[in-house]
Amino acid sequence: MSYEMVIGLETHVELSTKSKIFCSCTTQFGSEPNTQCCEVCTGMPGALPQLNRAVVEYAARAGFALNCDVQPRSIMARKHYVYPDLVKAFQISQFDKPLCVGGYMDLSDGRRIELTRIHIEEDPGKLMHVGNEVRIDYNRSGIPLIEIVTEPDFRSIDEVVEYLERLQTTLRAIGVSDCRMQEGSLRCDVNLSLRRHGAAEYGTRSETKNINSFSAIAAAIEYEYERQSEILDAGGTVEQETRSYDADSGETATSRSKENADDYRYFPEPDVVPVILEPQELDALRASLPELPDAKLRRYIDALGVAEADARLLTKYSAVSDYFERAIVDVTAKAIASFIVSTVFAEVTTETERETFAPTVSAERLNELWRLSESGTINRNTLKRVYGEMAASGEPASAFITAEDTAGFSADDIARLCERAIAENAKTVADYRAGKEKAIKSLVGFVMRETKGRADGVAVESELTRQLTVNN
């Protein structure tokens, strides 16, 4: 029997503040275990938390970017559970009065994913399994998080992946998180249930926790769909539980029975005062948002004429789009966008490198080179050669452009060379006139060889087409 999947997501995002949520310990990633913690983030008796104001501001910016109602007053709460990485046996989070309420994201298929809330909380420590030992690193304890909770609105893996990719792009663009899934900066809990097509009631859900890659999320959803389908087809009942995903086996496994809110015994955190945002602060935070990726994407496509596939790559990272916009001053945006994606990206290949995007050739030097091409001073072949030399050396274009490069060819010169190409390549001409349109590329190649690549290939092909049509 075929079932409809019903999915809701809880996405935990580490905020890019310099210090932790309730103490001054650094949030730097990758240090030796237990070297970035103090009496507050390890829950020592008598140690009192002090809320980092930047955490509230970052979370509010995320709320505005995701169309939430950011609350002027919210309350921190204690969430109780016992686990080795949670030294206090409770987590300081938010419950019935979160910072951000509602919100939504519209997907490319026209469906809207509703958000329930965004709240702030502290991260627990990290368990590390080394042989037969379980070790705890408290460096991550107290790292500031936002948890973004959706309604159960997803109906396919593709919708989940699109939402998460766009969420990652948006949060990076507004500067609140690097969202590096490989470092745990963005982790996802997948709540999934099945129901017969057309049914109104939801089924019993499982929650697969802490998945930190798009491919793993897709694989975990697919596995859970198959697992729950087999149970229902056999007449069984799906148990409400928390599960973990094993990337090596591609399977999920039971971790513990699923808790409800009552099990956590939430109550207001007595050591942290209510979070108050004055109206002028809310207005300033809303106004501080940059152009969001969706709006930038539409501008690149509609106003600048950039191909959609290129525009999506250019808007994925703010540093890349900043480079692009500096490079296109007074030149054709569509062509330079294609060049960045096809050529500059070959130099800056990893996700981490594209977050800062500092290729050897600066945007200003690329713009200078492109102006020489568009003014007719050099042709595209010379542009590509010179760019390669600039990228290898770090020198400007002027170091590699010779007088021969800028000599160029007049329209009369190109016309005469095209006449020669037609006269000396009778079989190729016959093939072209017989309908083999690609044969003209051979004639273009003849002219380019004669000019040592210095003629404009586009102008050459246009002139060849004209002569072949006129003389047909």
Condensed to tens digits (0 to 9), the pLDDT of residues 369-410 reads 999 888 777 878 888 889 999 999 999 988 888 777 766 677
Cβ contacts of 372 within 8 Å, gap of 6 or more: 378, 383, 397, 401
Tokens of 209: 């926790």
Parallel, antiparallel or unpaired: strands 206-211 and 241-246: parallel
CB-based burial label for 100 (10 Å; 0-12, 13-18, 19+): buried
Tokens of 78: 């204690």
Q: What are the pLDDT digits (tens) for 136-175?
A: 999 999 999 999 999 999 999 999 999 999 999 999 999 9
| Backbone region of residue 435 per phi and psi (left: phi > 0; alpha: psi in -120 to 50; beta: other values) | left
Mean pLDDT to the nearest integer, 439-448? 90
Q: What are the pLDDT digits (tens) for 293-347?
A: 999 999 999 999 999 999 999 999 999 999 999 999 999 999 999 999 999 999 8
- Do residues 205 and 240 lie in contact, with contact meaning Cβ atoms separated by under 8 Å? yes
Q: Rounded to an integer, what is the distance from CA 262 to the centroid of its chain?
A: 36
Q: Give the Cα separation of 28 and 36 in Å (integer).
A: 8
Q: Give the Cα separation of 102 and 450 in Å (integer).
A: 66
Ordered by where they begin, the domains of the chain are 3-285 (no CATH), 291-407 (no CATH), 411-470 (1.10.10.410)
Q: What are the pLDDT digits (tens) for 189-244?
A: 999 999 998 888 999 999 999 898 999 999 999 999 999 999 999 999 999 999 99
- Do residues 347 and 359 lie in contact, with contact meaning Cβ atoms separated by under 8 Å? yes
pTM for the full predicted model: 0.84
Q: Give the Cα separation of 147 and 149 in Å (integer).
A: 6
Q: Give the Cα separation of 61 and 63 in Å (integer).
A: 5
Tokens of 120: 């702030």
- Do residues 119 and 266 lie in contact, with contact meaning Cβ atoms separated by under 8 Å? no
